[in-house]
Chain A
Amino acid sequence: MDIFAALAHGMVVALQPMNLVFALIGVFLGTAVGVLPGIGPALTVALLLPVTYKLDPGGSLIMFAGIYYGGMYGGSTTAILINTPGESASMATALEGYKMARAGRGGPALATAAIGSFVAGTLATIGLVFVAPYLVDIAVKFGPEDYFALMVVAFVTVSATFGDSPVRGLTSLFIGLTLGLVGIDKLTGQPRLAFGVPELLDGVEVTTLAVGLFAVGEALYVVSRRHQVEEKVEAVRGSLWMTKEDWKRSWKPWLRGFCFGFPIGALPAGGAEIPTFLSYSAERRLTAHPEEFGKGAIEGVAGPEAANNASAAGTLVPLLTLGLPTSATAAMMLAGFQQYGLNPGPLLFAERPDLVWGLIASLFIANMMLLVLNLPLVGLWVRLLAIPQPWLYAGILVFATMGTIAAKPSVVELTMLTGFGVLGFLMRRYDFPIAPVVVGLILGPLAESQLRRALSISLGDPMALVQSPISATLLGVAFIALVAPFVVKNMSRFKATED
């Protein structure tokens, strides 16, 4: 079968010694940075992008894969041991996991999170292997109006549908779209929003934006609330290993978590923590030990963690097959592709199958490495968490700046970094979601070029946008998604906590 041949070829690529080394470095760095409080997976990828500038595309994409998965593992370690609300990628894990840590069962919590992530991540990557070729076949039939409609759906779901305030979410999105306008218009060569500053002609670098909003903005925000109580790290007491009882109670939540996470993560719509939320509620209803929920039930860690990882792997489906990023982390991965002039999508599958399948094969390897690395190295990660806050954030700012300087050592770029930091700070303070800005920046120009292509093919006829059944349906979905939060209360339950 074609798929197995492609995957086997990818495995050959992934198992080359140099690529294995890259995967290992990526996994290690990703976990280390992901463990640090205040740094989510998107920022982890953004901070580590400059490390890959000089490497060949294959190797660095493999390193990204490692960083991507590693960042998620690291984040769950933090969730269990520190319980910082709203900054970790899975609040549900923090709910039960932190209680377990306090009860001296931190080891099993971490173990079930790691193993569950491995199981669900592997299953989800298998899912990716089988779903991707079919989606690529469908995507090849997509015309520009279909792509445009799909991107509109992504815009609306990322910003408006799930969240506290659709107005604020859309504002974030439009700020991102505005930033995406800066630079030279590709179709006509006209400069837009450059104000005569030559450095702006290249546009706003997505890494500068992401690092500014996430790292600098977070640092400014935390420092402004320094008088708040500092987080306490729960020590990992007792055994690291899970008892037979723990295994018995964990394996079904793992599988259920995968079933929730992968399909929903693979949908080309962004911004929802539905899988984790669903997994938590399902485990709560199905558990044989309902009295433990709220005090540290292992199912409450196993399920959501598996769902979270499966969903993260699922996000790679629209990214690789359609080139559509549906989360800030996916947007950073797309930026990673773009820095080599690669555009994920059906064309990349056809032109560079070694690259794409090598990447997918590396996901399996990265998953395995993470399982092997993480449990023994828990002690190391806990020590990282114990770095005093002043040095932690000072180090974060130094790394953030270093990345920008390595890419573009200009005063203009660094001023933009600081400016985005201030923006990120203000957005946190006034409760504007941050991910839509990044998605708007990277997806806006793509959407615009598809729109203009569709209109010039149709010689200016706007009806072309709804003539294809796919695009008409998708635009309808987008409209419903836009109106839903105003009509249906409680959509904010599904708000994404990834940052």
Chain B
Amino acid sequence: MTDSGAQETGPARRGVDWAGIAIAAALALLAMVLVLDAMRIQANVTYGMGPQAIPIAIAIGLGVLAIGNLVNALRGDFPEREHMDFRPVGLVLGGLAVMISIIGLGGGFIPAMTVLFAATATAFGRRAILVDLAIGFVIGVIIYIAFSRLLTLSLPAGPIERLF
């Protein structure tokens, strides 16, 4: 493994920084999306800039930054990263996904919050799912009542909300 040279900020990385390269590639991709979208616009402005000018300018900037990030990645300029635990992250994201589905399918605010609360608490290490579901339910009810009665803001109503 080659040592990519000592940097002033952060320790040196060994070998090629694949994550950094992926980031550079993503930026380049974003730049291309911008250009494609800008080309689709047909607006003729007599003088000054049309709506497609700035997107293209930003796309150029992103392209330059993609190269900059690539250079950084090859030089090992990204700081060292510690080991990451994927499972809890996945659990939180799963909780969010279920929450979105519940809202999208008309299940209502309270069940969605219940699931989100319990999933997050479990991801952070608690092993008492039923208690957490109960707490999430209570919090959801309190927020729903506070918002819909006191502040008259409407939150998505499903079967459970109609009981309140």
Contacts and interface: CB of A to CB of B under 8 A. Distances in A.
Contacts of B160: none
B9 A192 contact: no
A187 interface: yes
B8 to A, nearest CB: 7
Which 3 A-B residue pairings sit nearest by Cβ, starting from the closest?
A456-B48, A390-B124, A394-B120
Contacts of A397: 92, 95-96, 116-117, 120
Contacts of B37: 192-193, 195
A85 to B, nearest CB: 15
Nearest to B19: A430
B107 interface: no
Interface string A384-398: 000011110111011
A221 B156 CA distance: 29
A391 B117 CA distance: 8
B116 A391 contact: no
B113 A193 contact: no
B69 to A, nearest CB: 6
A401 B113 contact: yes
B58 A489 contact: no
A204 to B, nearest CB: 14
A188 interface: yes
Interface residues of A, number: 65
Contacts of B51: 185, 187-188, 190, 192
A451 B45 CA distance: 14
B126 interface: yes
B68 A429 contact: no
Contacts of A54: 151-153
B96 A452 contact: no
Nearest to B127: A390
Interface in A213-227: 216, 219-220, 223-227
A390 to B, nearest CB: 4
B135 interface: yes
A30 B117 CA distance: 22
Nearest to B72: A167
Contacts of A220: 89, 92-93
B120 A225 contact: no
A422 interface: yes
B124 A53 contact: no
Contact of A415 (B49, B61, B95, B100): B100
A455 B61 CA distance: 20
A77 interface: no
Given A390-B121, A422-B93, A448 B54 contact: yes
Contacts of A51: 151
Nearest to B45: A188
Contacts of B99: 401, 414
Interface in B94-135: 95-97, 99-100, 103-104, 109, 112-113, 116-118, 120-126, 132, 135
A174 B58 contact: yes
Given A394-B124, A492-B9, A411 B100 contact: yes
Nearest to A459: B47
A348 interface: no
A181 B89 contact: no
B65 interface: yes
Contacts of B49: 451-452, 455-456
20 contacts: A53-B153, A164-B79, A171-B27, A188-B43, A188-B50, A193-B37, A193-B55, A223-B124, A226-B85, A226-B88, A394-B120, A394-B136, A398-B116, A406-B153, A430-B20, A430-B78, A451-B49, A453-B48, A456-B47, A459-B48
A425 interface: yes
Contacts of B81: 429-430
- Interface range on chain B (Cβ under 8 Å from partner): 35 or more
A421 interface: yes
Contacts of B65: 167, 170-171, 174
Given A394-B124, A414-B103, A431-B79, 13 more contacts: A178-B62, A185-B51, A193-B33, A219-B120, A223-B89, A226-B88, A390-B122, A394-B117, A394-B132, A406-B153, A409-B156, A414-B100, A430-B23
Nearest to A451: B49
Interface in B146-164: 147, 151-156
A432 to B, nearest CB: 9
Interface in B28-60: 30, 33-34, 37-38, 41, 43, 45, 47-51, 54-55, 58
A177 interface: yes
Contacts of B143: 398, 402
B100 A225 contact: no
A190 B55 CA distance: 13
A164 B124 contact: no
Contact of A224 (B34, B78, B85): B85
Contacts of A185: 43, 51
Nearest to B42: A190
Contacts of A455: 47-49
B151 A418 contact: no
A50 interface: yes
A242 interface: no
A287 interface: no
A405 interface: yes
A409 B103 contact: yes
